[in-house]
Amino acid sequence: MKCFAIFQSLCCILLILLFSVLSGSTGLAADQSGEKEAVDKPVPAKTKITDKDRQPSLAWGNELYQHYCIPCHGINGDGHGFNAPHLLVKPANHTDSVFMSKRSDQKLFDTINLGGVEVAKSTLMPPWGAALDNDNKIKSLILKLRALCQCQATKNW
Ligand code: HEC
């Protein structure tokens, strides 16, 4: 009888141990699956900043001016680019504040976008709208032009 009681209590202890191990392992399994879920969660694709998201700035205008305008208008914007001697019409001097203040920002926009011909000037001033393909690039170039002439438009036409 005594033997049976010992056997019974041993079984009890074993059952308790087994139960605790099992519940422990399922807890662990739950943790692991939680971790796994976190790892597998789709990471949102890194939002790529394109030119379309960029706001107009003088820094951007500087870059664009160096790239597109200096061959004719010169590195200092004074109209003496390396290509200038080969042109029948002298490229405008963007540092001339009297000349540049007579052009509104809208007029400059149209000139850059559609070329000299748009403002009854020479076709030797090319249209840049298609190459730039972004209004904020043109607006940045206008900031650059205003920085070069250190002037604002006196007229709004
Ligand atoms: C292939 C040479 C060439 C390049 C490159 C060029 N231009 Fe010109 N640009 C000219 C010429 C030539 C004129 C003068 C046109 C005239 O007086 O009839 C001119 C004139 C201008 C004028 C004055 C127009 C007016 O109202 O009288 C502006 C503003 C101008 N360019 C901006 C730019 C900008 C900004 C860039 C760069 C995106 C650029 N140009 C690139 C040749 C060029």
Instruction: Tell me the pLDDT of the chain (157 aa) as tens digits.
Output: 565 666 676 655 665 655 655 565 544 444 455 555 566 777 777 778 888 899 999 999 999 999 999 999 999 999 999 999 999 999 999 999 999 999 999 999 999 999 999 999 999 999 999 999 999 999 999 999 999 999 999 976 5
Pocket residue to mutate for ligand 1, from 65, 70, 72, 110, most atoms within 8 A of Cβ? 72
**In angstroms, rounded to a whole number, what is the distance separating the alpha carbons of residues 58 and 76?**
15
Burial class (CB in 10 A: 0-12, 13-18, 19+), 68: middle
Q: Look up the pTM and report it.
A: 0.77
pLDDT number for residue 143: 98
Ligand 1: centre distance to CA 111 (Å): 8
Q: From the CB of 143, is ligand 1 less than 6 Å away?
A: no
130 close to 113: Cβ distance less than 8 angstroms:
no
Read off the tokens for 101. Answer: 């203040």
Ligand 1 close to Cβ of residue 128 (< 6 A)? yes
By CB atoms closer than 10 A (0-12, 13-18, 19+), residue 72 is: buried
Q: Ligand 1 pocket, 127 CB below 6 A?
A: no
- The pLDDT score that the predictor gives to residue 69 is 98
CB of 79 within 6 A of ligand 1: the answer is no
Distances (CA, A) of 15 to 8, 12, 23, 74, 96: 10, 5, 12, 90, 95
Residue 155 pLDDT: 76
- Tell me which residue has its CA closest to atom 9 in ligand 1: 125
Residue 120, pLDDT score: 95
**Where along the chain do its domains lie?**
57-149
Residue 153 in contact with ligand 1 by CB distance below 6 A: no
92 lines ligand 1 (CB under 6 A): yes
22 vs 108: CA distance, rounded Å: 78
Residue given tokens 């080969």 in the structure block: 86
What is the predicted pLDDT for the residue at 134?
Answer: 96
Residue 133 Cα distances to 23, 87, 129, 137, angstroms: 64, 26, 6, 8
What is the structure's pLDDT at 3? 57
3-class DSSP assignment, residue 122: coil
Residue that the structure tokens 């914007």 belong to? 77
CA–CA separation, 97 and 49 (whole Å): 35
Q: Look up residue 95 and give its DSSP letter.
A: T
Domain 57-149 has what CATH class?
Answer: mainly alpha
